[in-house]
Amino acid sequence: MMKEKAWKISKFVLLGLAVIVVCVLLLLQCPGDKTARKTDDNPSVVETVTERPAETRKQDVSDPPHVVESVKKMPKTNMPTSFVGKKPAHKTNKSLNRKKNLSYLPDQTDELMEKSKKPKDVEALAEEVKILSEKVDVLWDKVRALLEKVEAVLKKKKMDPPAVVVGNLDAEKKEIQTDSEVIFKYPVHVMSGGISTYKDWTPYGFQGSYAYRVSKYFSLGLQGNAFFKEGKFQADRSIYVGFRVNFHIFPLLVKNSNFDLYAGSSIGAGRDDAVATFETMGCLGASYDFSRRLGIFAEAGNIGVLGLRVKF
């Protein structure tokens, strides 16, 4: 509590001192005070007033004492005041006015200097605006030149034979045709079928498969095989169905090619006339697309297959 009271009292004291300092500064800045001080400091000027009908006379102290006494003893007449003493009253007033005017010279000089600075500031601002406008013009010229270049490039592309999209497949797997050749990119769905052989069976086999291209390098699908063999005593048969995965190698080597090289493996179940088995198969295959929809393929591994494939 004592600290708070002391702080409040110190604030009031500081506020009072600030008010006093401001008042003193205002009094010192007053022009009338300057004139009064300069007039009081000059002992050569003293105003002597003698009362006359309807007028007041100011006398300069610089006059000799006998002149001042003669002026006091003169009878009141209608003689003009300009003829009294050595120095007329109106000249003394002029000298006083001149001194008053001189006392204002510093302030007037500051005002004139400020007024003279204002046109310079305006000129500097106008110069900066001019420089800025020139920079804007240069920037606009550059933008215009860039737009002209872009327009020229677009016109050139319009003149060149554009690539035409033939299929409606995904962006990554679409088929593209140009003037020189047909390029087939990563078909989405592939159905294939061909004649197959299996181990020691006679070439009375058939393989059918379906694959879906999930990416540039992988495809997933199903595979089915059927084999027939004529024995000495009876005909045998075997059926196999499995899940298949292919890894496409050729996109790593060449882009946008009609050829494809892949490695595949499958896992599934097989059954012949007597026994049901669980089997896995592997193969290395190659394909070539000679049209937009048709192609040929060949595989070698547990099963040898040669056949056709259809893309859609």
Angle between helix 31-41 and helix 89-103 axes, rounded to 10 deg: 130
* Residue-wise burial string across 205-219, b where 16 or more C-beta atoms lie within 10 A, e elsewhere: bebbbebebeeeeeb
Using CA atoms, how far residue 231 sits from 82, 174, 200, 201, 302, in Å, is 165, 49, 12, 10, 22
Q: Are 247 and 217 in contact (CB under 8 A)?
A: yes
Longest dimension (CA), the chain: 181
Closest CA to 196 of 75, 281, 76: 281
286: β partners: 261, 298
- State the pLDDT at residue 179: 42
Give the range among 48-52, 86-90, 194-198, 284-288 with minimum mean pLDDT: 48-52
Using CA atoms, how far residue 279 sits from 87, 198, 220, 227, 301, in Å, is 144, 13, 18, 15, 14
Q: Pick the residue with more confidence: 200 or 239?
A: 239
Tokens 């001189």 belong to 102
Using CA atoms, how far residue 264 sits from 143, 211, 293, 308, in Å, is 56, 11, 22, 17
Closest CA to 273 of 241, 305, 226, 206: 226
Average pLDDT over residues 173-184: 45
Using the predicted structure, report yes or no on whether residue 51 has a pLDDT greater than 80: no
Q: Label residue 278 by pLDDT band (50, 70, 90).
A: confident
- Greatest mean pLDDT range, 6-10, 51-55, 161-165, 234-238: 6-10
Tokens 């995965």 belong to 245
CB atoms within 10 A of CB 63: 18
Q: Pick the residue with more confidence: 235 or 188?
A: 188
Could you list the beta-strand ranges (E) of 47-161. 50-52, 55-57
Q: Would the pTM count as exceeding 0.85? A: no
